Chain A
Amino acid sequence: DIQMTQSPSSLSASVGDRVTITCRASQSISSYLNWYQQKPGKAPKLLIYAASSLQSGVPSRFSGSGSGTDFTLTISSLQPEDFATYYCQQSYSTPWVTFGPGTKVDIK
């Protein structure tokens, strides 16, 4: 099984901050990595697919990078609506996919 880890598990940041979240796979997953945002009581929302492709309608302050085992999600300038939990997800081991444990971003 491919295990996904995320760091940090939580962070506190201010509006306007640059935020970086890391996701690591237990083995190489090429670029088979996606990022989701989830707000309390809501369904997850796709932000980034294939490691670095921005989903249509997602603000350009979100970006993704990485390949192999190490990936990052960056928010260039944190906005009030960005306070949420972020999950990475691998699909290399399709059909079985796994999610990271999540990173909660809250207000400092």
Chain B
Amino acid sequence: EVQLVESGGGLVQPGGSLRLSCAASGFTVSSNYMSWVRQAPGKGLEWVSVIYSGGSTYYADSVKGRFTISRDNSKNTLYLQMNSLRAEDTAVYYCARDFTVTTRWFDPWGQGTLVTVSS
């Protein structure tokens, strides 16, 4: 079964750091595009970052320079390192397989992990 399980969320002070993990099973992370998508409380979905199978990475302007996406092939795990966190980064963070053929879509998604940035 194809599955994604996030972990690492929690409460952090503004300016702090947090690393999210996304453990995959049923497929190989390094052979796929993988993305992070977030959802602020009561709000819509916002794409955050993608890592291509070849290793290229891209970020939304709102997190560029503060967040870093990476993967550990030996652990089949995706990561999101979040630095200089702001209150507006408070959200549920989802990892998703970024399925690309002629277009791109996200499937499956993990269950999400909540990040709260507050003093």
Contact = CB atoms under 8 A, between A and B. Distances in A.
Given A43-B110, A99-B46, A101-B44, A94 B105 contact: no
A89 B58 contact: no
Tell me which of B52, B107, B108, B110 has the highest count of chain A C-beta atoms within 10 A of its own C-beta: B107
A38 B60 CA distance: 22
Contacts of A33: 103
B21 to A, nearest CB: 16
Nearest to B103: A32
Contact of B109 (A44, A50, A99, A100): A44
B50 A100 contact: no
Interface of A: 31-34, 36, 38, 42-46, 49-50, 55, 87, 89, 91-92, 94-102
Given A36-B106, A98-B47, A101-B44, 5 more contacts: A32-B104, A34-B105, A43-B112, A96-B47, A99-B46
